Structure 1
Amino acid sequence: MRSVDYDTEQYQDYARGRALTQQQLGVWINAFEAVLPDRRPLVGLDIGSGTGRFTPALADAFGPVTGIEPSVRMREVARTRSQHPGVRYLAGAAEDMPVPSDSADYALLFLSWHHVQDKTRAAQELTRVLRPGGRLLLRANFSDHHPRPWWLEHFPNGYEVDAALFQPLHEVIAGFTSLGWRVVSFDTVTEPSSGTYGDMLERLRLRTLSFFAQLSPDELETGFRRLEQTVAADPGAPAPVFAEPLLTLELR
C-alpha cells in the first residue's frame, strides 16, 4: 500500500470529499449506540479522526471525545470546522496515543485501520488505553469481506487493488483476541444514498480515498473516463448503497 501524506495531499479536499449527510451520520451513530454500553456519559476516542467528521456527533451522542490524528493539517481543519466543547484533538496515532491508561470507554477507528503501520503495537496500545469492558468499533474493510462499491468496477483491477489494502477479517480478530479481547459482533451497516451518480462522481474526482493513491496516472485516467461515460447516461439517478462492515470487540 502506498501511504498517503495527508499534510501534503487530500487535507484541503478531505472534508468535502468524505462528507456525510445528517441522515448518514445518524445511521452510524445509531449503529454505534447499539453496541456500546447504555450508561452515559462515555469517554471516547476517535482514532484517525481526520477532519472530524464523526467526533462532534460522537460527543453529542455519548460524551466527551478525543480525536487522535497524526496529520497537522487534518487536525487544523477539524478544529476550524468545529469548536465543540466536548471535543479535543491531539497529535498521535493508533500506535502511540497521548492519553492515560484505562481512560476511555470506547474507541472508534472509521476507515483508518488500514493506515496503521504497526498493527500489533496499535492493538497493544488500544489494550492499554481502554478500560476493562471497553469497546472497539472497527469500521474497516476486510480483504474477504469487501463492500465492493459500484464505481470500483470502472478502474483497472479496481476490486483487487482496493481489497489488497485490507487484512482478512480472521487476521484482524486474531490480533486482538490474542491480547484478551472478544468479538461482540460483526455486522454490516447500510448508509443511505450519498446523492446522485453525478454528485458521487464530483466527490470521487477529489480523490480523497486511499484507493486512488495506488493507481498509476494511466489507470486513473482510464477509470475516470469509464466512470464519466457511465454517469453521463443518467447523472441524476440515486447512487447505489452498499453494506459496510462493522466489527465490535470488547476488552475483557
Structure 2
Amino acid sequence: MRRIDYDTEQYRDYARGRAFTERQLRAWIGAFEAVLPERRPLEGLDVGSGTGRLTPALARAFGPVTGVEPSIRMRETAQERSRHPDARYVAGLAEDMPVPSAGADYALMFLSWHHVQDKPRAVRELARVVRPGGRLLLRANFSDHHPMPWWLEYFPRGFEVDTALFQPLHEVIEMFTSGGWRVTDFGTVTQPSSGTRGERLERLRLRTLSFFAQLAPDEVETGFRNLERAVAADPDAPVPALSEPLLTLERRP
C-alpha cells in the first residue's frame, strides 16, 4: 500500500469528501451504542480521527473523547470544525498514544486500521490504553468481507486494488486474540445512502480515498471517464446503501 502523507495530500478536501449525512451519522452512533456499555459517561478514544468527522458525535453520545491523529493538518481541521467541549485532539499513532494506561472505556478505529504500519505494536498499545472489559470498535474493511461500492467497477482493477489494501478477517482476529482481546461481536451496519450519484461523483473527484493513490494516473483518469459517462445517464439516481463490517472486541482482564 502506498502511504498517504495527509499533511501534503488530501487534508484540504478530506472533510468535504468524506463527510457523513445526518442519517449516516445516526446509523453509526446507533451501531456503536448497541455494543458499548449502557452507563454514561464513557471515556473514549477515536484512533485515527482525521478531520474529526465522528469525534464530536461520539462526545455528544457517550462522553469525553480524545481524537488521536498523526497528521498536523488533519488535526488542525478537526479543531477548527469541532467546538464540542468534550472532544479534544492529540498527536499520536495507534502504535504510540500519549494517553494514560487503562484510561479508556472504548476505542474506535474507523477505516484507519489499514494505515497502521506496525500492527502487532498497535494491538499491544490498544490493550494498554483500554481498561479491562473495555471495547474496541474496529470499522475496517477485510479482504474477505469487503463492501462493493457501486462506483468501484468503473475503475481498471478497481476491486482487485481496493481489496488488496486490507487483511482477511481471520488474520485480524488472530492478531487481537493473541494480544489480550476477545471477539464479542461481528456484523454489518447498513450505512444509508449519501445522496445522488451525481453528488457522489463530485465528492469522489476530490480523491480523498486511499484507493486512488494505489492506481496509476492513467487508471484514475480512465476510471473517472467511465464513471462520468455512467452517472450522466442518471445523475439523480440515489446512491445504494452499503452494508459495512464492524468488529467489536473486548479487552480481557
Fold similarity call, TM over 0.5:
yes
Q: Distance in 2 between matches of 1:59 and 1:241?
A: 26
1:65-88 Cα distance to aligned partner (Å, 9 max, x none)? 000000000000000001210011
Q: Distance in 1 between matches of 2:179 and 2:54?
A: 27
1:220 and 2:206 equivalent? no
- The 5 A counterparts of 1:113-192 are 113-192=113-192
Cα offset for 1:166?
Answer: 0.3
- The 5 A counterparts of 1:221-236 are 221-236=221-236
Q: Distance in 2 between matches of 1:180 and 1:10?
A: 35
1:157-215 Cα distance to aligned partner (Å, 9 max, x none)? 10010000000000000001002211111100111100000000000000000000001
Q: Distance in 2 between matches of 1:179 and 1:121?
A: 10
Give the number of aligned pairs: 252
Q: Distance in 1 between matches of 2:134 and 2:85?
A: 23
Q: What SS class does the counterpart of residue 153 from structure 2 fall into?
A: helix
Q: What SS class does the counterpart of residue 27 from structure 1 fall into?
A: helix
Match of 1:66 in 2: 66
Question: Among the aligned pairs, what percent are the same residue?
Answer: 77
Q: Distance in 2 between matches of 1:70 and 1:229?
A: 38
Q: Distance in 2 between matches of 1:226 and 1:165?
A: 23
Q: Distance in 2 between matches of 1:120 and 1:179?
A: 8
CA root-mean-square deviation: 0.5
1:36 and 2:50 equivalent? no
Q: What SS class does the counterpart of residue 57 from structure 1 fall into?
A: helix
Q: What SS class does the counterpart of residue 79 from structure 2 fall into?
A: helix
Cα offset for 1:23?
Answer: 0.9
Match of 1:26 in 2: 26
